[in-house]
Amino acid sequence: MLAARAAVRHGVVAVTEATELGLTRGQLRAAINRGDWKSPMRGVLVASGAPATWHQLCAIATVAAAGVLSHRAAARLHRLDGFRDAAVELTVPLTRHWHGSGVIVHRSAHLTPSDIVTVAGIRVTSIARTLVDLGAVVDGDAVEQALDDALRRGNSLRWVVQTLDRLRRPGNTGAGVLSAVLERPDRRGPLPDSRFERLLERVCVEVGLPQPDRQIGVRDADGRLIASIDAGWPDRSLGIEGHSARWHGGAQRGRSDQARDNRLAAVGWELLYAGWADAQEPDEFTALVRAAYDLRSP
């Protein structure tokens, strides 16, 4: 029974769980001496055959601290964009003082059951709570990247805002950063398909171009949809499209893009492509967009 509990939590159980199942302290010491179990932190048992992974470290820390995974570690566990790597990071109740080697610990008096979910057997802050907390440890652009990813997956913006409103208070809670992100003027309208598209929009606006529309459907004279463009200016029939090997690589994809571009040209549209390098060093790209925009009459 104890092994079954450990199997769903990366080999980790609490000593209290073992005693609740009827095992005595003496039996547990004997199992550790035999090598069946290890005790890396006080109050924690780990099955000796379980692989040592980042998830296991998170499970050990949350059990030992009676806390929840949070902040960057929670973003990684939820697989939010921009947090592929993160150290173990926990939130514990304000009244609890706990320290673990290699573990970042936050204390909060405002962690409610609605803020806690279980992912991969590990107690972790919900996506909404994680987005609020992130602003305390990363900048607004990283928070926005995670927020956009969460919204693309179908998480409710209303849920995020309600969680934010509940947690607003003085201090470095992260709520102020998320609030500032939500108030950015270019967040109105459809959500970009990727962080890359948002970066492209912003480098265009920074050189004085109007905020482009997003997800523009272009139709022919008979009203048939011939293309959907990432962003652009319909009054100038000018679009910009993120171009990467992932989405536009290969001969078949190239022929598809060419056919679409030809259909756009037939109805007076011009489409400019940009890669990651153009978003990182945008001067040449934005100069081309600016020139194309100025040449095309509204």
Over the stretch 29-78, which tens digit does the pLDDT of each residue have?
A: 999 999 999 999 999 999 998 999 999 999 999 999 999 999 999 999 99
Dihedral angle, C-alpha 70, 172, 160, 99, nearest 10 °: 10
Task: Decide if 61 is inside a domain.
Answer: no
Task: Decide if 107 is inside a domain.
Answer: yes
Task: Decide if 58 is inside a domain.
Answer: no
Q: How many CB atoms lie within 10 A of CB 207?
A: 14
On whether both 35 and 80 belong to a single domain, the answer is no
Residue 281: CATH number of its domain: 3.40.960.10
Residue with token string 């929670």: 74
On whether both 204 and 116 belong to a single domain, the answer is no
Task: Decide if pLDDT at 1 tops 90.
Answer: no
The percent of residues in the chain predicted with pLDDT above 70, rounded, is 96
Q: Which long-range contacts (CB under 8 A, 24 or more apart) does 187-191 make?
A: 189/213, 189/214, 190/214, 190/215, 191/148, 191/151, 191/152
The percent of residues in the chain predicted with pLDDT above 90, rounded, is 67
Task: Decide if 189 is inside a domain.
Answer: no
Task: Decide if pLDDT at 145 tops 80.
Answer: yes
pLDDT at position 244, please? 58
pLDDT at position 258, please? 84
How many angstroms separate the CA atoms of 105 and 91, rounded? 6
Task: Decide if pLDDT at 256 tops 90.
Answer: no
pLDDT at position 147, please? 97
Task: Decide if 82 is inside a domain.
Answer: yes
pLDDT at position 251, please? 46
Domain residue limits at 236: 195-295
Task: Decide if 39 is inside a domain.
Answer: yes
How many angstroms separate the CA atoms of 46 and 236, rounded? 63
On whether both 151 and 232 belong to a single domain, the answer is no
Task: Decide if 38 is inside a domain.
Answer: yes
On whether both 199 and 254 belong to a single domain, the answer is yes
| Domain-terminating residue out of 183, 211, 227 | 183
Residue type, 253: R
pLDDT at position 247, please? 42
Angle at which helices 195-206 and 140-152 pack, to 10 degrees? Answer: 130
On whether both 71 and 176 belong to a single domain, the answer is yes
Helices marked H in 215-269 — which ranges?
Answer: 245-248, 251-266
Task: Decide if 59 is inside a domain.
Answer: no
Please count the structural domains in the chain.
Answer: 3
On whether both 78 and 41 belong to a single domain, the answer is no
More confident: 143 or 282 = 143
Extract the runs of DSSP E, i.e. beta strands, from the chain.
12-14, 37-38, 44-47, 68-69, 88-93, 103-108, 116-119, 122-125, 213-219, 225-233, 238-242, 270-274
Task: Decide if pLDDT at 123 tops 80.
Answer: yes
On whether both 113 and 77 belong to a single domain, the answer is yes
Report residue 150's pLDDT band, with 50, 70 and 90 as the boundaries. very high
Task: Decide if pLDDT at 288 tops 70.
Answer: yes
pTM for this prediction: 0.83
On whether both 243 and 272 belong to a single domain, the answer is yes
Report residue 173's pLDDT band, with 50, 70 and 90 as the boundaries. confident
Residue with token string 């059951």: 113
Structure tokens at 210: 């109007």
